[in-house]
Structure 1
Amino acid sequence: MIQREMNRYFCPICLIFGIIGCLLNILLFSQKQFRNISCCTYFLAASISMITTLILGFGPHAYSVNHPNPVHTISSFCKIRSYVAQSFMMIHRWLMAMACIDRYMVSSINVKLREFANPNVAYRIIIIIMIIFIILPLHNLFFLDIKNGMCVNSIVAFTIYHSLFTIIFGGFLPLLIMITFVILIRHNLATKQQRRQRDMYKIKGSTVRLLNSRDYQALMMLFVQVIFYILSTISWMIFLIYAPFGRRIHNKSNNRIAIEKFFRYITEILVYTYPTLSFYINIFASQTFRDVLVNILCSLLTSRERFWYRSRLSLTRTQTN
């Protein structure tokens, strides 16, 4: 009952708000002031990947309210959906991790490291990540199938490999990279500020801030992204650790089977909340993003008013003639 109501209301709402958010992310990161910033290049590519993830993640659940869920009824859809969803999910997570590395290089005092933080390098890394995670999840096409009304690995031994692959490449490594480089970014910024304070302690009677506005907003945005990544992923990682052992238990009661299915459902839904909230996290954490969004919306409204004014003026002239 709870699962059905979540499919009816929660999943469609997340799908709608998530797609709108990703499209706004794409619109923002495509602006002229962000095109030459390599970090924004990663965010832009990640937002495109997130749209596919959201459609394949929430779409089947929303569809299942009035129809049988194709994930658990159509073998080919089970395989393809799991493969594509995992592939794009891995892509956007690793792109976010690369964005953290990029910010670290930008904040570094090492000139050679800063040279790597440019859009041309970012484009190459994006292509490499896409190729890697289009190839690595191919096992889903061969070993996934429908069993007992669930889309699961058909071979118990392969469940262990799938769990380890997902935990390491989809959870642990991206998370480790994000946390490590956010800490290193903070260290770099503090080191830079300490050098400035050697020669200048006060400016016009005010103490020098540890971080300037732009650095602070970038760091806060990454920090909040990492927090939401942990919250949305940790329960899914726990389920993946349990899954191989749970498959070895025979003669399960109906209650236990129902609980396992519901836990799997909840943890999977939580995973997809991260791409859903990505845009709203950026807007919450960055004043710059809020200002750019307001400017874009104002420009669109102004353009629309000009369009209607010209249309009415043209119509008036036509009627006069």
Structure 2
Amino acid sequence: MNTVIYYLYEIGGPVLMVIGTVGCTINLIVFSQKSLRKNPCSIYFIAFDIANFFYIYSSLLALILSAGYNVNPSVYNLIICRLRLYASLLFDCLSAFYLILASIDRVFITTRNVRYAYKVVIIGTIFWFVFHSHALIFSDIIQIHYNYFLCYYQLGDYLSFIGYYSIIKEIITLLLLTICGLWSMANIRQTCCGVVVANPKSNSPKDRQFSFMLFINVIIHGLFSLVFVIFLIYQQITQNQVKSIEQQQIEVIIRNLCLFNASIPVCISCYTNLLVSKKFRNEAKKIRLCK
């Protein structure tokens, strides 16, 4: 099992990073085009991809180095340890937060004013930056056994808080994304069938394509996050049990596997957008041809 994780991160990790870096870059360039930037949903997608980019080069990179190359400065330096865990919590949350904002925008499309989208993104970002600052204080380097250390959250009440917080966050995110995604697709289906929906602003082809892109992103995020939610629930249920060194190591391996799995949606958003949206493909072609 250790060997599988080692090769997964040593070989698959860098490949995933390259795919994610290229994908996030293309997304940022396309959604920043004047023809798309006027739509508030595009602002949420830009914020989403910026968060994903930082997640790749903080959380995913740290995992690749530690699990795939046995390079883990966070177990030797407390400041690096705390920054790593803080960044992991923050950018994972921000990525989901921006996706939720985009989902709500697709359902209601309450305003065409992109300034409103900027304000929501800025205020929300500041809030989550401050909210997760506890990780900068209550993270520590823990000795699992002789000559084996782990950068993790402080044991006891704080670890319980992180466990419950992570489970609640993931479940609420999945519920909100599922509800908004289904609602948005129902609106599109009504529009395609000639039914007048409550908000006529959502009838434009561009809005429908934004909705399709978002819906696919929501499905992928939900599927890949579900495994991690199950593992978090198991961890929380068994946290007070006395575990052998072997069991603890197995749980670390499973956790790393779940984290790799959860990183996949962050890296493939661009490619699903290319598959489902003609407008996105056309804008990407223009960029490739330097038009």
Q: TM-score range by the shorter chain?
A: 0.7 to 0.9
| More displaced stretch, 60-69 vs 24-33 | 60-69
Tell me the number of residue pairs that the alignment of Structure 1 and Structure 2 aligns: 277
SS at match of 1:151: strand
Deviations 1:166-216 (A, max 9, x none): 2223x12222222112222233344454446xxxxxxxxxxxxxx875454
Q: 1:138 aligns with which of 133, 140, 164?
A: 133
- Higher RCO structure, 1 or 2 (CA under 8 Å, sep 6+): 2
In structure 2, C-alpha distance between the alignment counterparts of 1:122 and 1:286, rounded to whole Å? 22
Q: 1:88 aligns with which of 87, 91, 115?
A: 91
Counterparts of residues 1-321 of structure 1 (less than 5 Å):
1-64=3-66, 65-106=68-109, 114=110, 116-147=111-142, 148=144, 149-169=149-169, 171-192=170-191, 193-195=193-195, 213-250=205-242, 252-299=243-290
The alpha-carbon distance between structure 1 residues 246 and 195, as it changes in their structure 2 partners (threshold 3 A), is closer
Contact 2:41 2:210 in 1 (8 A): no
SS at match of 2:182: helix
Contact 1:57 1:272 in 2 (8 A): no
Contact 2:85 2:152 in 1 (8 A): no
Using structure 2 for the length normalisation, give the TM-score.
Answer: 0.87
Shift of 1:42: 0.4
Shift of 1:67: 4.7
Shift of 1:69: 1.4
Contact 1:101 1:181 in 2 (8 A): yes
**Percent identity between the two aligned chains:** 25
Contact 1:100 1:178 in 2 (8 A): yes
Using structure 1 for the length normalisation, give the TM-score.
Answer: 0.80
In structure 2, C-alpha distance between the alignment counterparts of 1:234 and 1:156, rounded to whole Å? 26
Contact 1:97 1:174 in 2 (8 A): yes
SS at match of 1:247: coil
SS at match of 1:299: coil
Partner AA of 2:171 in structure 1: F
In structure 2, C-alpha distance between the alignment counterparts of 1:132 and 1:166, rounded to whole Å? 17
Structure 1 or 2, whichever has the larger Rg, is 1
In structure 1, C-alpha distance between the alignment counterparts of 2:182 and 2:69, rounded to whole Å? 47
- What is the alpha-carbon root mean square deviation over aligned residues? 2.2
